[in-house]
Amino acid sequence: MQSTKRDTASWQAADKAHFIHPFTDGASLHKEGTRIITGGEGVWIRDNDDNVLLDGMAGLWCVNAGYGQPKLIEAASEQLKSLAYYNAFFHTAVPSSIELAELLAEVSPAQFKRVYYSNSGSEGNDTVIRLVRHYWDLVGKPERKTLIARNFAYHGSTIGGASLSGMPWMHAQGDLPIPGIVHIEQPHYEALGSGLTREQFGLKAASWLEEKIIEVGPENVAAFIAEPVQGAGGVVVPPSSYWPEIQRICRKYDILLVSDEVICGFGRTGNWWGCQTFGYEPDLMTFAKGVTSGYVPLGGVMVSDRVADVVENGGIFNHGYTYSGHPVACAVGVANVKLLIQEKIVDYVREDAGPYLAEKLATLNDHPLVGYTDGIGLMWAIQIVKDKSTNALFDYDKQVNAICREFARKNGLIIRAIVNDRMIIAPPLVISRAEIDRVVEITR
């Protein structure tokens, strides 16, 4: 049953009175009025006044299978009817959580056969912090506590996730990061690579990890965590030399490598996992979003044999969530992963939709406001510039971006404005060529 029908002004008044929105300036939200979204089909969403918009952001980079997929809806409904909840603590499990674990192992690199469930990416990364420290305790190296992450990374907004994140405005609120988390620069060629080729810069950016390891002391470092492609930090695609060198450095110092696949996982870069696109083998992978295409909350950590063998034989890991392995979330996860497999959606991103979007976005390069485009698969950034010859940014990046975003929305397209004057496009993976044409047309 749907919520009661009301006119938009009535929803907005109730929203203003009772609802505090995440990552939102309340004053400007309520001046504009909250947009009330009531429906979705494929790549399209509908608001309370029946305006239809093309969702070029797949919600928050999560609705990989598109809206309204009957198989996902049926899976949720069937599971709710048979067993809405049971826990995975204390020697019990439900079939959907086991079946999803089995499927996740099937679509993951060979070192991953086991999963630890959470409800979100933030909780997944909190789990990572505790899991890597627990692992090092169990193997007799308890001093290995420090996690190295990157500036402008986004790993979530719990205290752990926000600490791993490298957003200064998040650290400024709540006295973060927590002790034992340090950051290095991101591999952002256009911003930091002056005088170097892309590949030279990739090696240089990886060397910042080695410098940080030496500064902290290799014997104190537990793990390095990063997104294959930084998402909320601006869709910064690293040079191809970067990740293999990062892996070499982690192996040299015996440091666990954690790939935060919350955005990149489940096909967004054209493979099941971003680490496959960039050619590295992590010890842990965080996931969320695309595992259920956002239909219900679910996240987790894929745990490699190296770590899982130790933790499974190390007594109780005193960690978990009431909803770890939630039956309904896992049933939707099963239906979603099966759909991605059966419909060959990951191949479609790699071989068709991704290259087609890249080709179409390249046609924007002659636009006076476009510096360049950066991306892979179905995650792309358009760099908005004030001066094309120098790639200089506008002075008031948030305002400029807000203008671009609002202009797109008024013309029927949701795209997102992000740090450093970048407009982001990350549509559902099922987007058709004709819909990609529409995205690029409105963007221009």
154 binds ligand PLP (CB under 6 A): yes
Radius of gyration of the chain (CA): 22
Q: List the structure tokens of 275.
A: 């680490």
The length of the chain is 444
Among positions 92-131, residues that touch ligand PLP (CB under 6 A) are 120-122, 125
Give the phi and the psi of residue 53 in degrees, each rounded to 5.
Answer: -125, 145
CB of 214: closest distance to ligand PLP in angstroms?
Answer: 27
How many residues line the site for ligand PLP (CB under 6 A)? 17
Instruction: Rank residues 66 and 156 by Cβ distance to ligand PLP and give the closer one.
Output: 156
Selected binder of ligand PLP within 227, 245, 374, 435 (CB under 6 A): 227
CB of 196: closest distance to ligand PLP in angstroms?
Answer: 27
What is the distance between the alpha carbons of residues 95 and 73, in angstroms, rounded to a whole number?
18
What is the distance between the alpha carbons of residues 286 and 298, in angstroms, rounded to a whole number?
11
269 binds ligand PLP (CB under 6 A): no
232 binds ligand PLP (CB under 6 A): yes
Selected binder of ligand PLP within 42, 177, 231, 290 (CB under 6 A): 231
Pairing of the two strands 413-414 and 52-55: parallel
> In a 10 Å sphere around its CB, with 0-12 CB exposed, 13-18 middle and 19+ buried, how is residue 416 labelled?
buried
Can you say whether the dihedral through the CA atoms of 412, 403, 294, 375 is positive or negative?
positive
187 binds ligand PLP (CB under 6 A): no
What is the distance between the alpha carbons of residues 329 and 298, in angstroms, rounded to a whole number?
6
Stretch touching ligand PLP by CB under 6 A, among 154-162, 205-213, 372-380, 407-415: 154-162
Nearest residue to ligand PLP by CB is 121
The beta-strand segments (E) located in 122-232 are 146-150, 181-184, 221-226
Give me the 233-262 binding string for ligand PLP, x by CB under 6 A, dash otherwise. Answer: ---------------------------x-x
Q: Please tell me whether residue 275 adopts helix, strand or coil conformation.
A: helix
What is the distance between the alpha carbons of residues 325 and 90, in angstroms, rounded to a whole number?
13
Selected binder of ligand PLP within 128, 288, 303, 308 (CB under 6 A): 288
Tell me, rounded to whole angstroms, the distance of Cα 252 from its chain centroid. Answer: 28
What is the distance between the alpha carbons of residues 347 and 342, in angstroms, rounded to a whole number?
11
229 binds ligand PLP (CB under 6 A): no
278 binds ligand PLP (CB under 6 A): no
Instruction: Rank residues 330 and 440 by Cβ distance to ligand PLP and give the closer one.
Output: 330
CB of 92: closest distance to ligand PLP in angstroms?
Answer: 25
65 binds ligand PLP (CB under 6 A): no
Angle CA(90)–CA(95)–CA(100) in degrees, nearest 5? 105
Q: H or E element: which one contains 71?
A: helix 70-82
Instruction: Rank residues 48 and 163 by Cβ distance to ligand PLP and give the closer one.
Output: 163
CB of 288: closest distance to ligand PLP in angstroms?
Answer: 4
What is the distance between the alpha carbons of residues 351 and 353, in angstroms, rounded to a whole number?
7
Give me the 159-178 binding string for ligand PLP, x by CB under 6 A, dash otherwise. Answer: --x-----------------
299 binds ligand PLP (CB under 6 A): yes
Binding site for ligand PLP (CB under 6 A): 60, 120-122, 125, 154-156, 161, 227, 231-232, 260, 262-263, 288, 299
